[in-house]
Structure 1
Amino acid sequence: MTGIVVLGSTNMDLVAYVAKAPQRGETVTGREFRTVPGGKGANQAVAAARAGGEVAMIGAVGTDDFGGRLRATLEVSGVDTDLLRTAEGPSGTAHIVVDDEGGNAIVVIPGANATVDHLTPGDETLIATANALLLQLEIPLGGVIAGAEAARRHGVRTVLTPAPAQPLPPELLAATDLLVPNEHEAALLAGVAEPLAAAEALLRQVPEVVITLGGAGSLYAARGMEPLTVAAPRVRAVDTTAAGDTFVGALAVALVEGRPMPEAMIWASTAAALSVQRPGASSSMPYRPEIDAEAQTRTRSAATRR
């Protein structure tokens, strides 16, 4: 059995580091440029694998040089890439500007990801072996829906990150078990800005919601239960590019291991806090021993304060 299957995007992140992001029509001088393997799907796969999960990736890379690097990055992190397709043409790219506050602005060009609009032979078989299927919205909606519905047919838990934010079709919501938006995505989907109100609105469409709140932590809500908020560690952010994907990957591992949601959220927020203290996307993601050590430190610190 494969613990976690990720159906999603692979992108090469082209990252420019600047003191302040340019406004429209403005040119600024940056201090550094990096190419870093990323994409929300690949990021979540790497995060989950480094957090100790057994992970397989379904998606596509191109026939360019980036494609080989993207595949190799997944494999080095322990992700099974047997069903990662190679599509003729360029790989997906993400053009990212990171400022000195750790904030970012991103333009994604799908490339090979645009071909992942359906399941191919073997995809559903792999999904059926999983405990959880992780989905995002950087591949065509047709592919996302096909994956979610396959998971539903086989009783596999679906975890959807609704990013980039867009209206979600009813058939996708019907096949989603856990929705994990950030606060901006939650507000867009729910039509209300306040996170708790947004969560309550979203529960009319899906059974469980975790809203990530950046430095303020995360909020969990489920039908028939009292909402729960978990604080995030206080750290100095260097680059927040992959924080949400790190959180989701680690959260999935904790849930597959059978941890209760509060404990899973604390562990996932610890992983995300470690990632934002380093530059890059997949390159910033922590390994399980780091997460465990930091989580233990947080627990001891909390006990001392009490």
Structure 2
Amino acid sequence: MSSDSDEYGLPLPESCIIVGFGGVCVDLLATVTCFPVPDSKMRSTQLKVQGGGNAGNALTCAARLGLKPRIIAKVANDIQGRALLEELEVDGVDTSFMVVSKEGTTPFSYIIIDTQKKTRTCIFNPGEYPPMKPEDLHSTNLVSILAGSKVVYFDGRMLDTAIVIAQEAFQQNIPILVDAEKPRKGLDNLLRLTDYIICSKNFPQVWTEASTIPKALVSIMLRLPKLKFVIVTLGKDGCIMLERCVDGISPLEEMDIDSTFESLTKRKDDTITMPTCIASSIMKFKAKGEGCMCGKLYIGTAEKIPPSKLIDTTGAGDAFVGAILCAICANFSPQIMLTFASYVAATNCKALGARSGLPYRTDPYLASFTH
């Protein structure tokens, strides 16, 4: 660890380069007092134009937390594309490996935020430019992009190109993290190379066809032997994580994964407003029809944000991913990693847009996660 904790809220290792590949776009955010009914007119109470996209948001979060991200993505050579590049650079994201298309238009999203019900609705437009293809990458350039990287992150899109980058990262023994939002053609090939997975609530059961999320996590770990952990994000209900452990303790207690999950859930203290984490002991987890694996189960809670402070949940998942990338580089324990990521995600929900509320490394509260 760096010894500059007096100057910064969050100390990190000296070299913390990461690489991310995925989507960037422009977000057009409008707040309304209630979601409009069809064929009606309504005034917005606030409007913001800001950079978006899973990869762009997650790497912006990582940069503000002190990492040195390099992004691989593609935009069009239009006003929006150039603005995206400038915004990322201002936040400390290295855009020198971005591909700029001479034709077409940059992707954008319309996002409507209902300030009464605290919901957000996204309408995505993919733009009219050629999507990024493996031909956009040059092998010599790819080696230099990955040089010195602590981890490589993928948002689960443009998988033909993602696989090319992941295979090079695999050859260089660089850990890989994938944000798996939903099953896509070619995703399985990427997951086989992956060390860490963060996924949405629905992904585990859809991908494995298991009857419960905990069972699905066991199945994911058994199907992907390279995987070190998988995290499922549950929004206001926090997250669940299953970590692989070395089977060096004998005999280990064999437990049903659902029973362990229920037991941990009962230990949650609903009176605590800040994020917490509860962990099982190391066990051999079994799930009917899925087999057994040696691991540790964690339940992380989300910060309880008062309605008056909850502004917009856009990009909360991306903020969580950015914080996990930081935690991996800082060698945080799983308990600290999950509470840290939940805090960062909650902080981002207290401002409009996916990036406005992202905390900086100088946030004094962040220092508490290193003690």
TM over 0.5, shorter chain:
yes
Query: Structure 2: how far apart are the matches of 1:97 and 1:3?
Result: 35
Q: Is structure 2 residue 83 aligned with structure 1 residue 75?
A: no
Deviation at 1:144, TM superposition (A): 1.8
Q: 1:94 aligns with which of 90, 109, 117?
A: 109
Assess, with a 3 A threshold, how the Cα gap between structure 1 residues 96 and 111 changes in structure 2: closer, same or farther: same
The match for 2:126 is: 110
> Computing the radius of gyration over CA atoms, which structure comes out larger, 1 or 2?
2
* Equivalent residue runs for 1:255-270 within 5 Å: 255-270=328-343
Q: Is structure 2 residue 187 aligned with structure 1 residue 172?
A: no
Q: Is structure 2 residue 290 aligned with structure 1 residue 271?
A: no
* Equivalent residue runs for 1:134-149 within 5 Å: 134-137=153-156, 139-149=157-167
* Equivalent residue runs for 1:26-41 within 5 Å: 26-27=39-40, 29=42, 30-41=44-55
Aligned sequence identity (%): 24
The match for 1:304 is: none
Partner deviation per Cα, 1:281-300 (whole Å, 9 max, x = no partner)? 1222111222x51573x999
- Which has the higher mean CA deviation after the structures are superposed, 251-260 or 163-172? 163-172
Partner deviation per Cα, 1:139-168 (whole Å, 9 max, x = no partner)? 422112222222111111111112365355
* Equivalent residue runs for 1:178-193 within 5 Å: 178-192=196-210
Query: Structure 2: how far apart are the matches of 1:164 and 1:96?
Result: 20
Partner deviation per Cα, 1:71-115 (whole Å, 9 max, x = no partner)? 111111111111012112211112222222332222322337853
Equivalent AA in structure 2 for residue 249 of structure 1: G
Q: 1:212 aligns with which of 222, 233, 240?
A: 233
Q: Is the CA contact (8 Å cut-off) linking 1:209 and 1:222 kept in structure 2?
A: yes
- Which has the higher mean CA deviation after the structures are superposed, 69-78 or 233-242? 233-242
Q: Is structure 2 residue 290 aligned with structure 1 residue 227?
A: no
Q: Is structure 2 residue 137 aligned with structure 1 residue 120?
A: yes
Q: Is the CA contact (8 Å cut-off) linking 1:173 and 1:205 kept in structure 2?
A: no
Q: Is the CA contact (8 Å cut-off) linking 1:136 and 1:144 kept in structure 2?
A: no
Q: Is the CA contact (8 Å cut-off) linking 1:95 and 1:106 kept in structure 2?
A: yes
SS in structure 2 opposite 1:278?
A: coil
Q: Is the CA contact (8 Å cut-off) linking 2:311 and 2:350 kept in structure 1?
A: yes
Q: What TM-score do you get using the length of structure 1 for normalisation?
A: 0.88
Equivalent AA in structure 2 for residue 120 of structure 1: L
Q: What TM-score do you get using the length of structure 2 for normalisation?
A: 0.73
Q: Is the CA contact (8 Å cut-off) linking 1:128 and 1:150 kept in structure 2?
A: no
The match for 2:10 is: none
Task: Return 5+ residue gaps in structure 1 as ranges.
Answer: 301-306
Q: Following TM superposition, where does structure 1 have runs of at least 4 consecutive aligned residues deviating by more than 4 angstroms?
A: none
Assess, with a 3 A threshold, how the Cα gap between structure 1 residues 117 and 231 changes in structure 2: closer, same or farther: same
The match for 1:130 is: 149
- Which has the higher mean CA deviation after the structures are superposed, 188-197 or 142-151? 188-197
How many residue pairs get matched?
296
Task: Return 5+ residue gaps in structure 2 as ranges.
Answer: 1-14, 245-293
Q: Is structure 2 residue 82 aligned with structure 1 residue 61?
A: no
Higher helix share: 1
Equivalent AA in structure 1 for residue 119 of structure 2: G
Cα-Cα RMSD = 2.4
Assess, with a 3 A threshold, how the Cα gap between structure 1 residues 201 and 77 changes in structure 2: closer, same or farther: same
Query: Structure 2: how far apart are the matches of 1:108 and 1:164?
Result: 16
